[in-house]
Amino acid sequence: MSAILGAAIMGISTAGVGVASAATIDNGSNGQTDANVNLEVDENNAQYKLTNAPEFDFGTHTIGAAAMNLQAATVVDNLRVENPGLQSGWVVTARAKNFDDLSGNALNGAYLTLKGESQAEDSNNISTAPISDTVQLNSADTPIFHANPGGGLVAWTSVFSPNDTSAVLHIPDGNSEGTYTAAITWEIQDAPSAS
C-alpha cells in the first residue's frame, strides 16, 4: 500500500518536469543525478504593467524678480512597474503638456525636471535594477525609467520625494500670477532604452 501511494505522489510532483534516468552508482558508493525545475510566465499575465505614476504639487509661491527652481512640496505615488518574469526589457516614457491655467494662459518657459531613485519592492530581489533617468519633460515621449534585457524583474519603483531634487520645476522670471497645471502622460513598452 505504501509503495503505491509513494509512486502516486512522485508522479504528481514531477509532472511537466523532465525527470533524469536512474543514477548509475559507481562501485556501489557514489553517483550523480539531476534536479530540474521549469518556470513559466502566466499566459494571462504575460505583459509589463505600469501600475502607478506620480503626481506633483509645487505649492504656492510669491512672484519675485528672479527665476524660480521649485522642489515639489507634495508627491503622490511613485512610478511602479510589474514584470511577471519577461526577459526582453522594458522602458517607461513620459511627456508633458505646457503649463497653463483654466483660461489657457501659459506659464512661459517653464519646464519640469525629474530624477527618481530605483528601488526593488522586495529587498531580496536579485535581478539587475532598472535605471531611473534624469529627464526634462517636454511634448515628446522621453525614457524616464528602463530595464535592460534580463533586468527589472518582478516589481520595481522609481521613487520621487518632496523637498529634494527628484522633481524640480523651473519658472523663468516674467510670468504672471495664476494656478498652472501640466498634464503628464506615462507609457510602458517592452523595448529597452539604451543604457
- pLDDT single digits (tens) 109-163: 999 999 999 999 999 999 999 999 999 999 999 999 999 999 999 999 999 999 9
Distances (CA, A) of 87 to 36, 48, 117, 127, 152: 20, 10, 22, 11, 9
Q: 167 in a domain, yes or no?
A: yes
In a domain, 34, yes or no: no
Asked if residue 119 belongs to a domain, the reply is: yes
Residue-level pLDDT at 23: 63
Instruction: Say which residue the cell 519658472 belongs to.
Output: 171
Does a structural domain hold residue 17?
no
In a domain, 145, yes or no: yes
Q: Which domain holds residue 72?
A: 45-189
Query: Is residue 178 in some structural domain?
Result: yes
Q: Determine, yes or no, domain membership for 72.
A: yes
| pTM for this predicted structure | 0.80
- Tens digit of pLDDT for each residue in 86-115? 999 999 999 999 999 999 999 999 999 999
> 159 near 119, Cβ under 8 Å?
yes
**Kind and range of the H or E run holding 11:** helix 2-13
- Report d(CA 133, CA 112) in Å as an integer: 14
Domain count, the chain: 1
- Tell whether 195 is covered by a domain: no
- Quote the radius of gyration of the chain (alpha carbons, Å): 26
pLDDT band at 24 (very low <50, low <70, confident <90, very high): low
